Amino acid sequence: MKKENLPITRNEAFEILREMNQNDFDMTHYLESEAIMKALAKKLGKDEDYWGMVGLLHDVDWHSTKTDLKNHCIHCVEILREHGFDDHFIEIVQSHAYGHDAVPELREHTRLHAIEHSLVAAETLTGLIYTYALMRDGRVSDMTVKGLKKKFKDKNFAKGVDRELITEIEEVGIELGEFFELAINAVRGIKHEIGLK
């Protein structure tokens, strides 16, 4: 497996987010996305550091675009370039907004690569897992695939979580149940960092 170049270390990326983003809820989402992306890379035989970095930084412009959605995944270009990331990395980050009505500039684009399908599925699934964990008194340690599947099917649960984007993981040859198991385990691995148990 070829290691991809990254211009900064994981800790430097974490510090960039910390400096720009003091919101713990958002940081939790980044860390979960990172953990699930690393697990997916391991499973698919890809570069874990690179996939982890994509997960960690995918919403790097969120602090300035959450109230200005049309620029979400647009503003990030400047921020990522400033820190030395190349167009390839930036494009992957941007791809999680492809097809999204709120971002006209990216609406007509289509995700094509495994890392792009993985990112959108992973970052969307974090919402379901986290909401479910909170409902279970913050416990992810004994969360089951069966329980999560039930929540996935329940349209009234975490309504904002787009199930179709989670299903996009099938594009990389991973079944939904397998994805849930991998993701629960990944989040479990960082539970202390994100205030779950």
In the complex, the residues that contact Fe ion under the rule CB under 5 A are 59, 123
Instruction: Return the SS3 of 41.
Output: helix
In the complex, the smallest distance separating the C-beta of residue 71 from Fe ion, rounded to whole angstroms, is: 15
Question: Closest CB to Fe ion among 64 and 142?
Answer: 64
Helix (H) or strand (E) holding 179: helix 176-188
Tokens 């960082």, residue located: 190
- CA angle, 148 as apex, 190 and 44 as ends, to 5°? 60
In the complex, the smallest distance separating the C-beta of residue 72 from Fe ion, rounded to whole angstroms, is: 9
Question: Closest CB to Fe ion among 1 and 70?
Answer: 70
Phi-psi bin for 61: left (phi > 0), alpha (psi -120 to 50), beta? alpha
Question: Closest CB to Fe ion among 5 and 102?
Answer: 102
In the complex, the smallest distance separating the C-beta of residue 96 from Fe ion, rounded to whole angstroms, is: 7
In the complex, the smallest distance separating the C-beta of residue 98 from Fe ion, rounded to whole angstroms, is: 13
Instruction: Return the SS3 of 61.
Output: coil
Question: Closest CB to Fe ion among 133 and 165?
Answer: 165
Which amino acid is it at 123? E
Which amino acid is it at 130? Y
